[in-house]
Structure 1
Amino acid sequence: MAKSKPKIAIIGAGMGGLAGAATLRKVGIDVQVYEQAPKFARVGAGIQMLPNSSHVLRGIGVLDRLKKIAFEPYSHLNRVWDTGEIKRELPMPESLYGAPFLCMHRADLHEALYSVLPPEIVHLGKKLVGLDQKNGGVSLSFADGTKVEADAVIAADGVHSLVRELIVGPDAPLHKGRIAYRAVFDASLMNGGKIAPSRTKWWGVDRHIVIYYTAADRSSLYFVTSVPESADWMTAESWSAKGDVKELRAAYEGFHPEVQMVLNACPDCHKWAILEREPLPRWSDGRVALLGDACHPMTPYMAQGAATSIEDAAVLARCLEAVDNDDIEGAFRRYEANRKPRTSRIQAISSANTWMSGGNDDTTWLYGYDAWNIPLVGENDLAMAG
């Protein structure tokens, strides 16, 4: 008798939610996506897709599109803040890990993921207000008064996840006194100046800045920083708060001329608090599971937030493909068994902000990971894996 495939509702249409929809459809699972925003906006930020997430993007059919428009850095380059001395450089041709290292505008990645989905399965203006598990399914209630039924729910609703709160209770974010400035702007504002053809992280004593192009033609570039700031500045993880460019430039006074050139050309910027959360005790409850920032939010210092969400999507699809509608809970436990040890490790290293700061640590475990093909442990190995 043929297996009965579940009908799954995904909460959130960010990178993780759209990747989850794409990977689930790839294995023949019916999915609907519910997003609280009334429309998609082109938020001004760059994003790095390292080989570990590029493997997944290739599998869902968007990598070739992205390679045509994204900037492909020569290397993962780490330099001393003032002298420019190289602390560590890792050239990253596609042949190194079998997938490319790409830098792009976040909106370009989002649009690519959306492009492989039928638009009618993505429902905007749907703010979740409640979940009710009963009779082997889940009932979802939205702020507009509508309700839908699904066999299971995947919550990709981000760092402020309502579903996480319903599963594990409220958890307060940790503010460790760090804030970030960021901006995407036209490279022509540097008046002919050019930055290194790499993704460069400039390491200061108590702060850093990461700079890279976001387009294949090097017409635009992006930077993101981390600087100390009083813990009472802001507690909301807002990506839209405006920053003061003069304050930003003052924070990087004395940095290398290449950094100064970029900051002097920057017309405006955003500023937000870098908040953290401890790893969760569990990622699912019955027929409801968490994905991406909803279950393992992390600092941006390893460029693995969206990447690990995209990895989650591929592993979750593999776990669900192997079961019928009667064993969704087991599939969710197996997904957690395979993903939690890795994401917890990345969370910890990213929090410490030590990745590739020097030395010759092995990078294969991170960048060489292929979520489509890595052997999966069974759900009974959860305790051992954790």
Structure 2
Amino acid sequence: MLNDECVHPAAKTSTTPHPKFRVAICGGGIGGITLAVCLSKHPDIQVDIYEAAQSFKEVGAGVMIWGRTWQVLTLLGMDKTLRDVAGVALDGPLVDPPFGFDFRRSDMGHDHRIYLLSMPYASNQYHRAHFLDTLLARIPETVPHLGKRLISYSHGDPTGSIKLKFADGTSATCDILIGCDGIKSTVRRIMFQDLADKGQPEMIKFIEPVWTGEVVYRALIPMEHVPLRAGQKHRVLTRSTTYCQHLTAYPIAQGKWVNFGGFVTKPEACGTPWDKPWAAECDAHELIEHFSGWEPEVAEILELVQKPLRWAIFQIRPLPLFAHGTVVLLGDAAHAMTPHQGSGVGQAIEDAYVLARILGHPSTTRKNLCEALKAYEHVRLPFTNDVARQSAEAGAVSELRGSTGDDYARFAHSLRGLWTWVGGEDPEAQVQRAIKRTRHQEKVAAKALL
């Protein structure tokens, strides 16, 4: 809750005068808003979102939602609304035709399909802004507080509360601080700096993001601008296509736009400094120069890109922990990854669901918050770190480097393996494992007191 010495008091989202505990969500992106939606199912938990910007906005264009994440959204009662946003019939399949990726060797000047990866898992694509707006409609207006850029947090209150300080001079208190503040997370910086200052200097390396050596040129192309090919719709209007090595394009927003990304990679530059803006508009000729001589389909798409954005791709090193005391990380703050499997948003949503289910469980109280947050870490940290690893490998495979090179049989085998996680252990199973672990830790602690 915000202190009222400088601003109005934050309205409580709890319907009880004494909430079970107070949750502060730092960051109002998709992960943070999803967490607030999930926690709204538990009226005895007070929730406040502190967002640095003056309005809610998402960086990027496309959002890919896999079937495992769709289960979460269905449990939240959002499936019908999101089907409407995607233009999918309520009684129909999530995707029609069945979803897959068309992988093509495109840098040799002629058409050459390498592999058609048919996915047994449903998926749908959204414009990020539309997706975020759908989530925002699910939370009370009193929950978000805009213009609240976190500059520090501290413990020390005898009650165990955490004090938050913001750049505008205001402050707030909470029982749990959840860092949903992205790849440049302030919460992560303070957490790992504190660990380093208290005898673990190796923790410093987990604070700053690392450049992957990759740059992606991004653009949204209006559907009506994409030309026909032999009287048929262009491939990118009907199927997600990866032109190796490598360019991606797929339809979003009910097919009104094509989300385009052209990747240029220098593997040897991974981990080296990037001294330019992370994202900047550039001349279309810069993009065309990188992909000149590619197959005609690619040339047709490149001609449609007027003002591409050049993005440097960063990630964070695999973290050794997500939770420290009653402070915990979620989404990109915990596991910012490359975009090669469209998995970042989905993993943030799954983080939010698992964490909210743990916090909302009747066995979770103020007394065992640390154990509950460690249980979340126990199930989510290894899973998300592995997803991040496979995303990076998928990018390497799409550029015909890494373990497969241009051996197309190995290429296909590797891709199938890299996508199996999408159909793996679902978030609800992770919830049950985490709750079981929390109970076990409570029993261990109780025995230690005997």
Q: Same fold (TM over 0.5)?
A: yes
Partner of 1:210: 248
Within the candidate set 120, 143, 147, 2:171 is matched to 147
How is 1:1-386 mapped onto 2 (pairs within 5 angstroms)?
Answer: 5-28=20-43, 29-41=45-57, 43=59, 45-70=61-86, 72=95, 74=97, 75-82=99-106, 83-92=110-119, 96-97=120-121, 100-133=122-155, 134=157, 135-169=159-193, 170=204, 171-192=207-228, 194-196=233-235, 197-204=238-245, 208-216=246-254, 218-228=255-265, 231=269, 234-235=274-275, 238-239=278-279, 241-322=280-361, 323-352=364-393, 353=395, 357-359=411-413, 360-361=416-417, 363-374=419-430, 375-377=432-434, 378=437
SS of match in other structure, 2:349: helix
In structure 2, what residue type is equivalent to 1:120? Answer: T
Number of equivalent positions? 371
> Once the 2 structures are TM-superposed, how far is the Cα of residue 56 of structure 1 from its aligned partner?
1.6
Residues 1:84 and 1:361: Cα distance change in structure 2 (over 3 Å): farther
Any idea what the Cα deviations from partners look like across 1:309-354, whole Å, max 9, x if unmatched?
1110011012212201221111100000010111111111222225
State the distance in 2 between where 1:84 and 1:5 align: 61
TM-score by length of 2: 0.76
> Once the 2 structures are TM-superposed, how far is the Cα of residue 61 of structure 1 from its aligned partner?
2.5
Q: Which structure is richer in relative contact order (CA contacts within 8 A, separation 6 or more)?
A: 1
In structure 2, what residue type is equivalent to 1:17? Answer: G
State the distance in 2 between where 1:233 and 1:334 align: 35
In structure 1, what residue type is equivalent to 2:390? Answer: I
Range with greater deviation from structure 2 (305-314 or 354-363): 354-363
Any idea what the Cα deviations from partners look like across 1:239-267, whole Å, max 9, x if unmatched?
4x112211112212232322222221122
Residues 1:6 and 1:165: Cα distance change in structure 2 (over 3 Å): same
TM-score by length of 1: 0.88
Residues 1:244 and 1:10: Cα distance change in structure 2 (over 3 Å): same
- Whether the 8 Å CA contact 2:387–2:421 is kept in 1: the answer is no
In structure 1, what residue type is equivalent to 2:184? Answer: H
- Whether the 8 Å CA contact 1:4–1:324 is kept in 2: the answer is no
State the distance in 1 between where 2:370 and 2:153 align: 16
State the distance in 2 between where 1:316 and 1:55 align: 16
- Whether the 8 Å CA contact 1:46–1:105 is kept in 2: the answer is yes
- CA root-mean-square deviation: 2.6
State the distance in 1 between where 2:275 and 2:33 align: 28
- Whether the 8 Å CA contact 1:46–1:214 is kept in 2: the answer is yes
SS of match in other structure, 2:234: coil
Residues 1:89 and 1:381: Cα distance change in structure 2 (over 3 Å): farther
Any idea what the Cα deviations from partners look like across 1:91-149, whole Å, max 9, x if unmatched?
44xxx44xx41111110111111111112211111100110123311111111111111
In structure 2, what residue type is equivalent to 1:227? Answer: V
In structure 1, what residue type is equivalent to 2:433? Answer: L
Gaps of 5+ in 1: none
Range with greater deviation from structure 2 (332-341 or 195-204): 195-204
> Once the 2 structures are TM-superposed, how far is the Cα of residue 373 of structure 1 from its aligned partner?
4.3
Range with greater deviation from structure 2 (62-71 or 310-319): 62-71
> Once the 2 structures are TM-superposed, how far is the Cα of residue 31 of structure 1 from its aligned partner?
0.9
State the distance in 2 between where 1:362 and 1:9 align: 35
State the distance in 2 between where 1:227 and 1:162 align: 29
In structure 1, what residue type is equivalent to 2:247? Answer: I
State the distance in 2 between where 1:248 and 1:298 align: 23
- Whether the 8 Å CA contact 2:221–2:305 is kept in 1: the answer is yes
In structure 2, what residue type is equivalent to 1:358? Answer: A
> Once the 2 structures are TM-superposed, how far is the Cα of residue 277 of structure 1 from its aligned partner?
2.0
State the distance in 1 between where 2:351 and 2:440 align: 18
- Whether the 8 Å CA contact 2:29–2:56 is kept in 1: the answer is no
Any idea what the Cα deviations from partners look like across 1:252-287, whole Å, max 9, x if unmatched?
223232222222112211111112221112111211
Percent identical: 30
Gaps of 5+ in 2: 1-15, 88-94, 194-203, 399-410, 442-450
In structure 2, what residue type is equivalent to 1:178? Answer: E
> Once the 2 structures are TM-superposed, how far is the Cα of residue 179 of structure 1 from its aligned partner?
0.5
State the distance in 2 between where 1:77 and 1:42 align: 25
Please identify the structure whose Cα radius of gyration is greater: 2
- Whether the 8 Å CA contact 1:17–1:156 is kept in 2: the answer is yes
